[in-house]
A and B are shown apart, each in its own frame.
Chain A
């Protein structure tokens, strides 16, 4: 031993068990901090690519920019790329509907347009077609072919196909292909729906400031400026209210993570150093000065930090790695440029900083305490713990069994330990509940495919008969088919059911002599089959969805939400049992409202008064025999192109085929990218919290080894010992859980009400989450106490009592 500080290493070695617990605790906290921050860092990188893929890689869009404005903006030093996009509305190509547009070639990459074959159109008479359209609509149009294009103003011109570009999911799902013209080709066209000049700034440019500059210099009005808020949000530059709300939530929650990291480490240190006050006293006896003791404790902290930080960092990086791996495995085309081992320097530095800082801080207080121990007390073996100076009266054992009373007593007597233990548990729960806010956000702001989402839809204005249905059912690759009959009908009912806002928008609504009002708009009548009723169950607000009863009693299901001009409203407030009268060729038919649905998963193209869902039988009874307007098809295997080929051959002759698969998978992809990280955050917090509870409980039991030995010598039985220690642990858990649940719920409420109201998210008491937490915490508590206790009980009493 060259220096007294070597004692640290001897001590840590001699008490390998305690050392290991302390190291684990610090490593866990470092892993938590590193993991969470690395995940955010990596998440933003992934999300940026995802947003670029979904919404395009531009920051600013200037409406109707003149060529002069465009050229000034393009030549700014902070602009990386810019290009013009013109939407020329719906046209017809060789007689079929198409969407006409023109995009500058330099900006095609930014908007995810990729030329698969041939060239980007450059000449006046060149166009480029979307791949699926080229295949399907023109029986394999190739570059060099001639096509006729009719514009909205009914002029028609001939064009040469110069190239084929990639499929766009949204266009494919709508069944209207995109046709891209050259910039020069649009010159003569005045009927332009939209003329946008897209701008991509260089990285690290303060975009809002740059946009303000551009607006100022070129005197561009606010309504001509559009920002890609999704992209700005992801790169942290959005000033949009919703984005700022999310930033605030992120800041609050990640501060919480930092605090949790600090408290977890402090807690373990408090337990492990405090119990050794006696050892430090002994050192004082042999002549150690106070300063030396402090240095010793700090050195010990350092030694532990040095051992704990590398594995902590590694574990944290592993968490981010798992998330990247999942996403890269799922879709390597979008995320190809992100390396699998993406390292977040910020996350690692923060982990190291928190590790060292907290260990340093955490050892300050115990070091002071240790230095303050009087050598006399240390030798006499008393005064291992400072407790209140007041005289203690009364004993809980009058109310409950002794071992339980003692367990609670020892928890409550050590106020600081109680506080730290409870804090550590509470913080975990607060974090868990806090991060759950992101799950709510994700589910409401992003849609994902549902069981009722079709892969392919067949749509026909004139209706499809049973024979098509039969043919479809006969196909091998088809999993499920379900059709809908649709009609716009005049429906009337008690006028008092109409909402005031709706009535006002029509001025006055006339009422006939029979008491029914004259409907100002038609209503949408929809037929469902068994499957569709089953899928609608989660949206049922009132009543029931029984096809049999509806058939028997002429039932109808009202739909509460009505999408009007892209705004969800409620036009009618039905009650169960209301009568609805529908005009039919044979007179008025009376139907009874038997249920109310929140919404239907598709929207009418026309404005309607409201929508009603009925069974196919009631539909036919009311409207006579009509075919299906829509037949939705789900495939056994989404990539089964052979079956899709057969379906395509059935299309034509007034039947339109909509391929929704690409759009579905893009929607799912968008959701998945966020879900992986959001659930990742919650999972990391849950795992670290559980390990933290196990570790601190373990530490607290191990630190009481001698005390428990004395209890056994006096005659406490194993069972009593178990329940005493469990009671103490449970006291920490119960107080921590209660505090955590209350504060966590409040935090959720505050975050949601203040920052997420723009997403229509409502706060509900997180009963289910709290139930999970309670089950988890109590199970973990029991398990984390039982095993060290068992080890202690297996040791001989003399071994424990004399070991000091």
Chain B
């Protein structure tokens, strides 16, 4: 087994009711009538109107990345070729795919391009790349469950294959109906 070639700088978790940074709870869902992702968005003082156009998978990923990077000291102005993203989940974009499927029913056929664009699992990596201007490696994998050892292997390999990479935003971002499971981290070579 290859030796781990990176350090974890910060970690976060989001479930359907809790958001944590480095194991510390920063928000607990109290009001079930309000959308949890919007609640979290406001609670962390995020200002990114595009957020409200996104599907739930992208919202989960973009909130996870925000928890990791909102106080991070890095170049916010220019695209950083030395930053990469590697994410995985088990439901790919099925949560939004079911939504698109409803728009193409035989008796109510009205396919929406705004919904269709989110029917790809890796759009969440694209949204995070745009928000945080990361221009390096960007990969999305689909696995039955979160295999952290595989994740670390893939991150290690990305570092070996791409000598210019310094930071990688990585982890698990799964949204499937009621289930929300975000476990992300920023690692540094």
Q: Do A and B bind each other?
A: no
Residues of B bordering A, CB below 8 Å = none
